[in-house]
Structure 1
Amino acid sequence: MDIESLSRWMDAEGLPGEGEVAEATALSGGSQNELYAITRGGASMALRRPPGYGIEGSAKVLMREARLLKALSGTGVPHAAFRGASDDLDVIGAPFYMMDLVDGWSPMGGGWVAPFDTDLEARSGLAIQLADGAAKMARVDWKAQGLEGFGKPEGFLERQVDRWLSHLSAYRFRDIRGLDETARWLRDHTPMTFEPGIMHGDYQFANVMYRHGAPAELAAIIDWEMATIGDPLLDLGWVLVGWPPEGDAMKYARYLNYDGMPSRDDMLEHYAKVSGRDVSQIDYYVILARFKLAVVLEASVARHAKGEADERVARFGPIVLELMEFAASLSRTTPLR
């Protein structure tokens, strides 16, 4: 990275430490883009840019993410405050954006940290805060925040099944039990109407950060690559993909210890209270989330089967089958509306 060029850009943007040369340190985290800590003028910021390969395709996604972060300012949605963005390759050789560096921790950094590793009551608060973040996203007036054209909310739910089946057809190599049954059920039970809103697209414990110590407090929602304007209830369904008690039978699809989690009813009650949205059809969104996640993960499984992905994605194989099995199972017990 040309740090002197970046520093000149920071001067032009009025960022802290005018005239100083910034310091940059590579950070881990995130699989799609490179992340750096940038310090200057006593401020700690983060710079996000595409990887050295596939810059053209990644740049579009990155600039969308920057646009969304900018739009979230003042909304009450926990996020890293936006500092600036540029698609001028002359600055550092790639498009990038800058945001505040969040002081917090992620469950993906090694599971629950103290006191949440042993205090189950405190751990319960982490889940309520997760639901709270989704609810705050759902209540944002996205048009007022300048997000017209950010997504295509018209027909969003009606497109889901065919879109993801088409996606799967490009790499399908094995039978996925429950796939056709779940697809039929989703088509037959698509909600007639919904209120469009900001949707993260991959909303789960893996994509949030918490402030240090108890009580639990969400510090920021991160990794907005999949964000769009769609049906925010799908984010809530994504949260509940493996939720107890039904999710307790899952052997592969969970990546955290769910002991101490609040009941699903408590999660739904909090979300409804904060968002103002009707959650009575949440089973549809849980089934859709399991269906979609299974299809998305199957892409990696297919690449591994062809020898094009490393052993780390091999574990997704049984997760895909379990997700679809549980999607089909829930559909059999969910009555017609």
Structure 2
Amino acid sequence: MTSTHIDVGTIDFDALGAWMDTQGLPGGPITGPAPVLGGTQNVMVRFERGGRPYILRRPPVHARSKSNEVLRREARVLAALRGTQVPAPRLVAAQTLREPVFYLMEPVDGFNPSTGLPEPHASDPAIRHRMGLEAAAALAELGRVDPGVLPGFGRPDGFLERQVPRWLKELDSYGELDGYPGPDIPGLRETAAWLTRHLPRAFTPGIMHGDYHFANLMFACDGPRVAAIVDWEMCTIGDPLLDLGWLLATWPSSAGHVPGLPAPQEIVAYYGELSERDMSAVEWYAVMACFKLGIVLEGTHARACAGKAPKDIGDLLHATTLSLFERAREFMGGALS
């Protein structure tokens, strides 16, 4: 959940307090503002007012072109999930009618495992194993939510058919960057052809997180339960099994310091127990996730070749892309069976 190098002095807390008064929230001075550190481009600040803690999420001072729209979508998603069993940050109030868009949510009582494990998690292998299953359970819960709570959100019609052409087009666009020699990715065309041949015939639309992996989960401090799925920037209406594929494609590398997690096959089996979705093509979703994520990461390598990103980061992400395509080959070979 977060942002780096935030200057809380750039936030007009008087204006924020006045807006909070219009929302019927507890009054009084805003105290203890402090940045919430982590990884995304949006600003996250924790503060208290009227004896109640809040997290403010808003665009950076120099907002990206889509910053406000991203936060508008996030606020809409969190509002829709507020009445469900999905573990997500609880939205308090949102200002979406004018820019900058921002919203308030309740702080999550939990930790992110990518930064290390507290006790009892660090010393209890049973808890760590269960954390993996709880990641699958939280995802299955999201997949059960009626997408009708987000009318007009996303384009589910033709969602799966669009994926391979969409990401091959993205890869082709990198050729416009000076200095990028083109993709040197063994298995690229074979993987695209396999995905096209094995495209699932149908799916049941649902809410997708869009970037579901361990680093976007916060776990309860007292056990293995998922306290919140965070960073909903990529959320859409599509095929929720692609979220499962994303979890498998990144498993367990995105889990950081969590030894003893379940094997991918156990994750698939547990999700299948909790979901009514057709799991017969689960390998397709894992391969698709590897394909898409590999191409996304190759974009930074391409920008590095053009001098627009650090070379060491570009090289590292290119190596990650190659490993994702190797993993795709394993999934195509039946590694989840």
The answer on 1:27 being equivalent to 2:28 is: no
2:322 aligned partner, one-letter code: L
Q: Displacement of 1:25 after TM fit?
A: 1.8
* Cα distance in 2 for residues equivalent to 1:23 and 1:122: 34
* Cα distance in 2 for residues equivalent to 1:88 and 1:18: 23
* Cα distance in 2 for residues equivalent to 1:167 and 1:260: 36
1:250 is aligned to none
1:84 is aligned to 93
Q: Displacement of 1:55 after TM fit?
A: 4.3
* Cα distance in 1 for residues equivalent to 2:258 and 2:279: 22
1:186 is aligned to 195
* Cα distance in 2 for residues equivalent to 1:272 and 1:291: 23
* C-alpha distance after superposition, 1:51-87 (max 9, x if no partner): 2223442111110011000000111000111111113
2:247 is aligned to 239
* Cα distance in 2 for residues equivalent to 1:149 and 1:78: 23
Gaps in structure 2 of 5+ consecutive residues: 1-10, 176-181
1:199 is aligned to 208
Alignment of 1:1-337 (within 5 A): 1-15=11-25, 17-21=26-30, 23-87=32-96, 94-109=100-115, 111-143=116-148, 145=149, 147-172=150-175, 173-214=182-223, 216-243=224-251, 256=256, 259-310=259-310, 311-333=312-334
Task: Verify the 8 A CA contact 2:30 2:47 in the aligned structure 1.
Answer: no
SS of the residue corresponding to residue 66 of structure 2 reads helix
Gaps in structure 1 of 5+ consecutive residues: 248-252
* C-alpha distance after superposition, 1:268-308 (max 9, x if no partner): 23212322222221111110010011011111111122221
TM-score, normalised on structure 2?
Answer: 0.88
Q: Displacement of 1:242 after TM fit?
A: 4.7
TM-score, normalised on structure 1?
Answer: 0.88
* Cα distance in 1 for residues equivalent to 2:264 and 2:322: 23
Change beyond 3 A, Cα 1:288–1:77: same
* Cα distance in 1 for residues equivalent to 2:46 and 2:122: 28
Change beyond 3 A, Cα 1:129–1:189: same
Q: How many residues align?
A: 319
Spell out structure 1 runs of 4+ moving beyond 4 A.
332-335
